[in-house]
Amino acid sequence: MNYSRLEKWFWGNRWLKKLIRIYFKIIKRDNIGLAKVMGVNIGSNCVIYDDPTNVFGTEPWLITVGNHVEICSGVEFVTHEGQIWVARELDNKFKNMDCFRPIVIKDNVFIGAHTFIMPGINIGNNVVIGAGSIVTKNISDNSVVAGSPAKKIATIEECISKLSFDGTCLPTKNMSPLEKKVYIKQVHKEWFHES
């Protein structure tokens, strides 16, 4: 096998793996760095809101994530098939077998909270996946999907056209939470309950 030095280091020793995780999660606060050390092929300008050791499962090296991908909390990538568990008991030829399929996420994708991405899935460019979805089929470019199983509910163009400049879309992207609160309170006092 041709393992990188970092992969050997990360996967080779249970205690060392814990120390590396502490370094990236607590000291450096770098989920992208930890995902890369685990073997995920990940592009630039990505955000992962959860612990990569939970998100990318047991075969992170089978996962490719493009550029500008946001992965919310509770998302799980599953790269192995579960039915092999039962097959091992029913047929000896499966006794020592596992079944795997890679997952590929292209560029400019948003994956909502608590979404499951199943084995062998390819997700195209410019895709929004609604929270709580279970993705069991490939998703084409420029799609918005949601549900269990996830189904296309709109094109990305239809979704963007519904974004409103009636006071609900506000220029707060680079503000701190406190700055954001002050700004929104100035614009929409009616959204705040004074005690």
Whether the CB-CB separation of 117 and 132 falls below 8 Å is answered with: no
**Torsions phi, psi for 27 (to 5 deg):** -80, -55
Distance of CA 70 to the CA centre of its chain: 6
DSSP 1: -
pLDDT of residue 6: 63
**In this structure, what token pair is assigned to residue 166?**
């009636």
Q: Tokens representing 51?
A: 């612990």
pTM: 0.82
- Which spans in 39-155 are helix H? 52-55, 84-90
Q: Does domain 5-163 have CATH number 2.160.10.10?
A: yes
Per-residue pLDDT of the chain (195 residues; tens, 9 = 90+): 455 666 666 666 666 666 666 666 655 678 898 899 889 999 999 999 998 988 998 899 999 999 999 999 999 999 998 899 999 999 999 999 999 999 999 999 999 999 999 999 999 999 999 999 999 999 999 999 999 999 999 999 999 888 877 778 889 989 888 999 999 999 898 988 876
Torsion-angle region of 166 (φ positive above 0: left; ψ -120 to 50: alpha; else: beta): alpha
Q: What is the DSSP string of 83-96?
A: THHHHHHH-GGGTT
Which sequence spans correspond to the domains of the chain?
Answer: 5-163, 165-195
Q: What are phi and psi of 188, to 5 degrees?
A: -135, 75
| pLDDT at position 97 | 92
Tokens of 42: 């990940």
